[in-house]
Each structure stands twice: as C-alpha cells, then as structure tokens.
Amino acid sequence: MAALLVNKIVLLITVTIFVTLQAMVGVVYGALFDTRVTMINDILHPVTIHCKDKNHDDGFHILKPGDIHSINFKRAFIIPRALWFCSFKWEGEFHYFDIYVQKRDSCTHCYWRIQEKAMCRTNPINNENIQLPKALPCYAWNKNINVTPSQKGNNNTDLEALK
C-alpha cells in the first residue's frame, strides 16, 4: 500500500514539474522564437500579396511601390518546420514564393525585396542595427502550378475589388 502511495506522489510531482517547465518555456523563451518577415515592393506597380502558413492566414494586402508589409509568427522549437508562403500578383503576373522556410532562413527578422524576376534578401529597412552579409541572395519564384487565367488576369480590377 505504501509503495502505491509513493508511486502516485512521484507521478504527481513529475507531472507538476513537467507542466511548470512547459509554462516557463512559453513565457521565458517565447520571445526567442518570435520571427518577423518584412517585404518591400521594388516593382513599379502595386502588388497584391497574400501570405499564410498551415494554420494562419495573413490576408490580402496591396503594396504600392516602395510600401512595406511585415508578418509576425513563432518558429518551431525543436524540429525546424515553420513555413510561410505568399502569392504575389501585379499587372499580368502571378507568382508564389516560400517567404520563410525555417531550414533555409536563420534570421529572426528577415528582409525581402519583391522584384519582377525574383525575391531578393536585403539589408534591414529603416536603418535598423542588424548585421547581414553584403552579398545577399535572390531566389527564383516557385513554379506556378495550376495558375488560372483569373489569377494572372488584370490586376487593376482585382485591386478595386479588394479595396
């Protein structure tokens, strides 16, 4: 009987410690996993962007030339599996791009320039004191699979409908 009582007490203490540690990781270390992705429109046309991951949808946003948009999220803790992807649409063009891939991107604040031929990493915007390499890579757009004519259609009517 005493051994059974000891086992229950040990189990209760173990569960209590586990729950407490889980709560502490979320509170103490939560900020370590905060991630921000900032995009700037380098195209001479307004760009409609739509970003999401498996569980979150950032919605549609229209960026005029030079406009900036950021998304904020938490990246995965143990297994690097965070993935955010966006669609980009402007006059006669429609592209997809994986804007944040945790296995590829080690930044906690990533900066991208939307360009006609590719998405390019860039230095921080607004002179933030973050050190990045001088030669930053550009990445080709994802291959467009099953893009419908309405997705590639006239951007002006779609922009008016979203206002």
pLDDT of residue 100: 94
Evaluate whether residue 92 is within a structural domain: yes
Provide the whole-model pTM: 0.67
Q: How many residues in the chain? A: 163
Say if 30 falls within a structural domain.
Answer: no
Which conformational region is residue 80 in: left (phi greater than 0), alpha (psi within -120 to 50 degrees), or beta?
A: beta
For residue 41, the domain's CATH number is: 2.60.40
On whether residue 55 sits in a domain, the answer given is: yes
Structural domain range at position 99: 35-162
Task: Say what the pLDDT of residue 143 is.
Answer: 87
Give pLDDT < 50 ranges for the chain: 21-29, 132, 149, 154-163
Hey, how many other C-beta atoms are within 10 angstroms of the C-beta on 18?
A: 10
- Tens digits of per-residue pLDDT, 94-112? 999 999 998 898 888 999 9
* Domains identified in the chain, total number: 1
Whether residue 64 is contained in a domain is answered as yes
Question: Tokens in use for 17?
Answer: 């410690």
